[in-house]
Structure 1
Amino acid sequence: MFKGRNFDRSVILLCVRWYLAYNLSLRNLEEMMAERGISIDHATIHRWTLRYAPLLLEQFNLRKRAVTGRWHIDETYIKVRGRWTFLYRAIDSNGDTVEFWFSERRNLTAAKRFLARALKRNGRPGRIIIDGSQTNREAILSCDTVDRLRNTSRLKLTPIRIRQSQYLNNLIEQDHRAIKRRVRPMLGFKSIDSARTILSGIEMEHMMRKQQAKYACNPQPSLAEQPDLHPTGTREGTEAQGATPIHRHDTTTSSTPPTTNTKREQHPTEARPR
């Protein structure tokens, strides 16, 4: 995953995680790395984010916990090149993220794709709570019907109950704030592809902050520890690859004095290098 890179994997993961999790610009990260003695161009950090955010999300989904049977569905606005696009999102009754879907349009087709993806990855909920959107209601009814018709098991699937209430859907409205809080300092995205990739990384960091992944070694790792626990970046991987940790100071004492960089005297019979 990190083979052929000029920087250590710990530097790459740190820059990508900080950019996705906190309100930092690419130039802020460039200055912060320079203060630590690491010279990185801000464009390099942007390329790292576009490359590794989808890969980290893929590994995170392998460890994502199951969600509850009551979902809240809504969409929020995201500006791309001066025009509004839409981010469909769903959370469960505990506030955990169920699924998200970025779309250029807000219509029935986009809502169906989002619902079909959520049902495929997370199973069928017992109830879905939405606001007054009739488009989302039609999408739920359509996807529910298709899912029940495709059912080949002997167990009969019960229809998904739909509850339309603006008050009960305040839970997901509050959850939107975490995403908008990170997107707002970016002042909009420059392209659809970069918006889709970076938003997926922001959603991943939001799920990591809510402790939605299962890890055998540590039930509740911190936000900084979780990227190192993925198969693509295990904690012991740094030592196995022979990488040197950054800013590791040797605090052990030695009985022998430190050597100085004095020039070694050349023996008369020793051949000089050409």
Structure 2
Amino acid sequence: MYSRHRFPGEIISYCVWLYYTFPLSYRDSEKMMLYRGIEVTYETIREWCQKFGQQYANQVRRKRSYVTDKWHLDEMVVTIKRQQYYLWRAVDSEGNVLDVLLQRHRDTEAAKRFFRKLLKKQGFVPHVMVNDKLKSYEAAKKQVMPSVEHRQHKGLNNRAENSHQSTRVRERRMRRFKSPGQAQRFLSAFDPIRRHFHPRQHQLSAKHYRKQLRQRFKDWREITDVKIAA
């Protein structure tokens, strides 16, 4: 995986982990590595994130034990170069981000496109779909997922709406996304990696939280093909 790279996998995977797990810039990551005595430029860290971020995220998804059959869907406005886009997002009842898709519209065709992408990636049809009262969802559901139970109520969809918060934090930290393609690439890797290292701490005792994090660190080392030195 890391052949022809000057730095070993431990350093590469660590930099990718820093960037996607915490609200850091590439330059912040460069400083943190320099503090540890490792000289690597922020341009190199950016290249590592672009090359390995999605690979790692795909493996993180495969490590998920299961995806529930109750899906929450929502969309948020993203402004890129003064143009308004909509980021469509789906999460399951456990808060796992299932997929994201950036589109110019939030009409029925956009909803259908997102549904098809979501179903293709997950490989099964949910039992229940929850969203706000945007009419595009109902129209698209009748054509793409007619058998799914549909619940439309703003108060029921806090799980999907809350899932947008980390995206807003990174959007501000990055001083907005630079292009639709860059936003889609970043978020496709960001959501799975960040979620992997942010279990629901408020629902766990300190002991179980640390235990879960240790297991996720172990999973990360397997995903990134990094071994701890004895």
**What TM-score comes out, normalization by structure 2 length?**
0.84
Question: How far apart in 2 are the matches of 1:82 and 1:13?
Answer: 34
C-alpha displacement at 1:229, in angstroms? 1.8
Structure 1 residues 50 and 143 mapped into 2: Cα distance closer, same or farther (>3 Å)? same
Question: How far apart in 2 are the matches of 1:48 and 1:81?
Answer: 26
What residue ranges of structure 1 are gaps of 5+ in the alignment?
Answer: 146-158, 213-218, 239-244, 249-274
Question: How far apart in 2 are the matches of 1:225 and 1:195?
Answer: 29
What residue ranges of structure 2 are gaps of 5+ in the alignment?
Answer: 201-210
Deviation digits for residues 187-227 of structure 1, max 9, x if unmatched?
11222222111111211123313559xxxxxx934454432
Greater helix content: 2
Structure 1 residues 85 and 68 mapped into 2: Cα distance closer, same or farther (>3 Å)? same
Deviation digits for residues 155-189 of structure 1, max 9, x if unmatched?
xxxx1111110111122112221222233211112
C-alpha displacement at 1:74, in angstroms? 0.4
Moved more, 87-96 or 10-19: 87-96
Count of aligned pairs: 218
Question: How far apart in 1 are the matches of 2:73 and 2:145?
Answer: 15
The SS at the match of 2:87 is: strand
Q: Tell me what 2:129 maps to.
A: 128
Q: Tell me what 1:226 maps to.
A: 219
Structural mapping, 1:41-80, within 5 Å: 41-80=41-80
Query: After TM superposition, which residue ranges in structure 1, 4 or more long, deviate above 3 angstroms?
Result: 219-226
Q: Give RMSD over aligned pairs.
A: 2.3
Which of the pair has more CA radius of gyration?
Answer: 1
Question: How far apart in 2 are the matches of 1:104 and 1:46?
Answer: 27
Deviation digits for residues 124-161 of structure 1, max 9, x if unmatched?
1111111110112212221114xxxxxxxxxxxxx111
Equivalent residue letter for 1:227: W
**Which of 142, 151, 175 pairs up with 1:187?**
175
Does structure 1 retain, via aligned residues, the 8 Å contact 2:9–2:226?
no
Structure 1 residues 78 and 225 mapped into 2: Cα distance closer, same or farther (>3 Å)? farther
Equivalent residue letter for 1:203: D
The SS at the match of 2:60 is: helix
The SS at the match of 1:110 is: helix
Q: Tell me what 1:261 maps to.
A: none
Does structure 2 retain, via aligned residues, the 8 Å contact 1:80–1:192?
yes
Question: How far apart in 2 are the matches of 1:221 and 1:103?
Answer: 34
C-alpha displacement at 1:5, in angstroms? 0.7
Q: Tell me what 2:19 maps to.
A: 19
Q: Tell me what 1:251 maps to.
A: none
Does structure 2 retain, via aligned residues, the 8 Å contact 1:132–1:165?
yes
C-alpha displacement at 1:21, in angstroms? 1.3
Q: Tell me what 1:150 maps to.
A: none
**What TM-score comes out, normalization by structure 1 length?**
0.72
C-alpha displacement at 1:19, in angstroms? 0.9
The SS at the match of 2:29 is: helix
Q: Tell me what 1:270 maps to.
A: none
Question: How far apart in 2 are the matches of 1:26 and 1:121?
Answer: 30
Equivalent residue letter for 1:220: Q
Does structure 1 retain, via aligned residues, the 8 Å contact 2:69–2:92?
yes
